[in-house]
Chain A
Amino acid sequence: MKTTWTSRLTSALFALPYTVCFAMFLLFPIGYGVYISLHDFELLSEEHPFVGLSNYIGIFTGGTYENSVFFRGLWATAQFVLFSVPLLIAVGLGLALLVNQLPGRIRGLFRTFYFMPYAISASVMAVIWLMMFDTNAGFINSMLMKLNLNTIPWLTDTPWAWVSLIATTLWWTIGFNMIIFINALNEVPEDYYEAASIDGATAWSKFVHITLPSIRPVMLFVMITSTIASFNVYAQPFLLTRGGPGDSTKVLLMNVLDHAFIRKEVGSASAMAILMALLIMIISIVQYRLTYGRKERGA
């Protein structure tokens, strides 16, 4: 019995570093965020009176500044999520399938190429794409001009601003999804495909009936992480469009940060952040339920 006790303790010890860091850097800040959101928290004021739910009520009261800031930002973020998540999944999977078809050595090379932008910092990403997209001096429009085509206001007109932001996001982050999908594809037993080939299945039906069902758990993981990442979109619009044209690409996080550090209303900014987190959680649960439910029916 004693050995089990110590071995349990040993296992617990392995989890301890993570648990402690998790508590310090995630659990505590979240709890503190909730605490702040229930106070009138002006950072420089000496007193932070408890105000109950009034920060939250303010956000949901029509006509207040908080209300318009939150919902305008949420609408911009929602548009981004709606377009970026399906593409992040489809392009990630597509690249994984393509790269997996390549012969051994080149495969590693392309995997590295596609993954590389993921390691680039936001500011470098922005410098590169500002040069690519520049209306009057950028690379893409120069090419269009050479081909005698009309130039496109990539960052200063809708819907182009969204197209540019999503293209940049794909370039910047797709490597991660691709790697996850490549691993998932390698996990699918080769026998399934062999058996299907013997039965005369086409490549498409193999993909739909073998590949997709086999990687469903990974698909769910990618869907949820992509959704969360897309909800947290900040650097791309902040550095490329600055929220423009007008404030049409001014996403929720930009508004929350302005509210916290320009207006210094950390209390209601925290309330906005908490609402945003709740929304992400609800959407993740829905995504999980949809996938999980279908899986059960399928089994």
Chain B
Amino acid sequence: MKKRLATWVSLLTIFAMVTAGCSGNGGNANGNANSGADSGTDGGGKKGEKTEFLFWTPFSGADGPFMKEIVDKYNSSQDSYKIDFVIQPNGEYYKQLDVALSTGKDRPDLMIMHLDQIPTYVNKGQLQPMDNLASAAGINKADYVEAAINYATIEDKWYGIPLDIHPLVMYYNKDLLEAAGVTSPPTNREEFDAAVEKATNKDKGIYGYVVPTLWPQQFIFPTLVWQNGGDLWNGTDVAYNSPEAIEMIEWMRGMVDKGVSPGNVQQDGENTLFLQGKNAIQFNGPWMKSQFDEAGLNYGVAPMPQLGKAKQAVFGGSHNFAIPKDVTDENIIAGIGDFLKYVSSNSLEWAESGQALASKPMLESEEFKALPQSAIAESFPYVQFAPNVLNWPTISEPIWGELNNALLGKKDAKQAMDDAAAKSKQAIGK
């Protein structure tokens, strides 16, 4: 009997160990986050329990430490609230978020959300309006860039407080432009065409503008279409196969034909050449800055030139603070308000990561104006975001493969965009 008992006990023990081992992995991420935050601050004379809340971000790249610094400074600046700061892997962010929101387990109290995701999450009933929180904390809509506020305001309710705006910008190699006799960065199509032609030097393998065929076309293509008076979405249907859009694709492909760009540019090919000093100009996002600094390039940043014929416009993204619908604890909401109020005037660290801020007091501060990326903010009056339509990521997905075909010269531009439009229509069941 004794032996049997021993067997059962060992069986149970092993079972317990195994199951504990299995689940250990799952809970790990959160456990880490909490312990990390606990070791942070313990200041002041314990007047009562601090209100803690969980803050999720997708800043797994070089930008993570900058946001962490802001959070750490906030945590030690006051005694009432403590933020548990969590970085989720960038590529996994919305998968993790969807799962956390749908199961309600370990969901964040405050999260970073890209502006163009907000309409979708509002439509799914996952976000709560922030109007009350903002007015209680003294956060004014007027203090932020209008385009972002308008986008995040749905049926008169405000769902996202913007942290930054990251429009497409122009990076240029100062040495190459100078050698070509171009004294100032181009601001329109004529200047641009002339500059890239002058900068191209076939013998040295130097190109004026290397045309990307994949990412970051997701930023470039919309910018060019809008600048040329076209649209991606006309309110009811896809519109990116319009003559205005086709003309810009042909213009880009034309640079390959003229030889100011090499052909068959692969993923990141334009950036590789830029880093090697063989590509005079590239269009990319503000987040590239630290890479160029590390490479020791003599480069400049300027707003996108107006390459289309109609108007100045630029495609941008924006990181926003948003709150899940289920967050109801008044202390937590007050804490979030307090933190966001703090961020609106103490986010210079974030600008140092290369981003341009969305808060006007910050934009107008001397410290920000001293940074090279303050040039980016010049484009904020005409910045545009992804079409404000439900499921835009799904609708737009076919563009990139077909645009790739057109820019590689495998398909006629018109044909490629018509094919993409057919796929988009299929995707939304038209």
Interface residues of A (CB under 8 A from B): 2, 6, 9, 13, 16-17, 20-21, 24-25, 42-46, 63-65, 68, 130-131, 133-137, 153-157, 240-247, 250, 258, 261-264
Contact = CB atoms under 8 A, between A and B. Distances in A.
Contacts of A241: 266-267
B273 A156 contact: no
B64 interface: no
A131 B273 CA distance: 11
Given A65-B427, A68-B426, A135 B265 contact: yes
Contacts of A157: 264, 408
A246 B266 contact: no
Contacts of B276: 137
The B interface, classified by DSSP as helix, strand, loop or mixed, is: helix
A139 to B, nearest CB: 11
A154 B7 CA distance: 62
Interface residues of B, number: 52
Nearest to A18: B18
B200 to A, nearest CB: 13
Contacts of B426: 63-65, 68
Interface stretch (B73-81, B293-301, B389-397): B389-397
Given A244-B214, A246-B405, A262-B394, A44 B124 contact: yes
A9 B98 contact: no
A282 to B, nearest CB: 29
Contacts, number: 121
A298 to B, nearest CB: 43
Interface of B: 3-4, 7, 10-11, 14-15, 18-19, 21-22, 94-95, 98-99, 101-102, 121, 124-126, 210, 213-215, 262-269, 272-273, 276, 278, 391, 393-394, 397, 401-402, 404-405, 408, 410-411, 423, 426-427, 429
Contact of B3 (A6, A65, A156): A6
Given A43-B99, A262-B393, A246 B15 contact: no
Contact of A20 (B19, B94, B393): B19
A261 B18 contact: no
Contacts of B402: 246
Contacts of A42: 124
Contacts of A247: 401
A44 B266 contact: no
A134 B272 contact: yes
Given A6-B3, A262-B397, A21 B18 contact: yes
A24 B394 contact: no
Contact of B266 (A133, A263, A264): A133
Contacts of A17: 14, 18, 21
Contact of B268 (A9, A63, A130, A264): A130
B192 to A, nearest CB: 21
Contact of A245 (B126, B268, B410): B410
18 contacts: A20-B18, A20-B22, A43-B98, A44-B98, A45-B124, A134-B272, A135-B262, A136-B273, A153-B263, A154-B266, A156-B265, A241-B266, A242-B267, A242-B404, A244-B214, A245-B405, A245-B408, A246-B401
